[in-house]
Amino acid sequence: MIKTVNLSKNFGDKEVLKDLSIDFEKGKTTVVLGRSGTGKSVLLKVILRLLSIDSGEVYIDNIDTTDFSESRMMGVRRKMGMLFQGSALFDSMSVYENVAFTLREHTRLSEGEIRDIVKEKLEFVEMTGTEGLMPAELSGGMQKRIALARTMANNPDYIFFDEPTTGLDPITARTINELIIRVREHTGTTIVVVTHDLDSAAMVAQKIVLIKEGEKYFEGTPDDFQRSDIDFVKSFRSGGKDM
């Protein structure tokens, strides 16, 4: 599991995360909800230590990683996959080369073994036959799928999704949400999704955390979220009135 304890992060005089304590349970999908700019993506980057921590602690697999050096964090990050909002595919590489990249960089697998894994992951995201295409030839939804295949290539214990449905039409967004569910059900991977999309949260979440300006306002099941009488939760559910 991953656990943050009293986590705080500032950018100059601006507090982005404020004493944030969250448990991300093993094998479950936790959705972190909040308005744009409320600190959701910063939370992911702090857990991955792509950003430094001002105060608090981050536990990964019950190990306090707060003071880990960059070299020690590199080992931890190999257990993790990150699907960025913009997919972040390498424009100069084909679909095959994109999915194979991590395997070539961080394993000693033979090219035959890499080819088998690439084929398997592309089949999983229903993108068989695209190996020779370039990212520019793919729609936004197709790029998301290829990015997920690349993220899954190393069989990570944790996958982080940063606004996975932003900019997608409703049908494509639903397809991405279905893939997130499928990943958890077929692999048991611990998944963290940050989003402001209530429809996406309702579809994929087993646990919801709602934050506002870096503070936690709610943590519980989707049913608890729907029944909550907390003013900010009710306002968020209603589409932003009085937020």
- For 205-236, what is each residue's pLDDT tens digit? 999 999 998 999 999 999 999 999 999 999 99
The whole-number pLDDT of residue 138 equals 92
Q: Which residue has the tokens 């069989």?
A: 155
Which domains occur in the chain, in start order?
2-237 (3.40.50.300)
- For 97-142, what is each residue's pLDDT tens digit? 999 998 998 888 999 999 999 999 999 999 999 999 999 999 988 9
- For 25-74, what is each residue's pLDDT tens digit? 999 999 999 888 788 889 999 999 889 899 999 999 999 999 899 889 98
The whole-number pLDDT of residue 240 equals 54
Confidence of residue 242 (pLDDT cuts 50, 70, 90): very low
- For 131-182, what is each residue's pLDDT tens digit? 999 999 999 889 999 999 999 998 999 999 999 988 889 998 999 999 999 9
The whole-number pLDDT of residue 83 equals 87
Q: In what order do the strands lie in the sheet with 2-11?
A: 14-24, 2-11, 55-60, 63-64
pLDDT higher than 80, residue 87: no
Higher-pLDDT residue of 239 and 117 is 117
Residue type, 93: M
- For 95-107, what is each residue's pLDDT tens digit? 999 999 989 988 8
pLDDT higher than 70, residue 77: yes
- Torsion-angle region of 3 (φ positive above 0: left; ψ -120 to 50: alpha; else: beta): beta
Please tell me what DSSP assigns to residue 136.
G
Q: Which residue has the tokens 């579809």?
A: 203
The whole-number pLDDT of residue 241 equals 43
Per-position DSSP letters for 25-52, written without gaps between them: -TTSEEEEE--TTSSHHHHHHHHTTSS-
pTM tops 0.85: yes
pLDDT higher than 60, residue 243: no
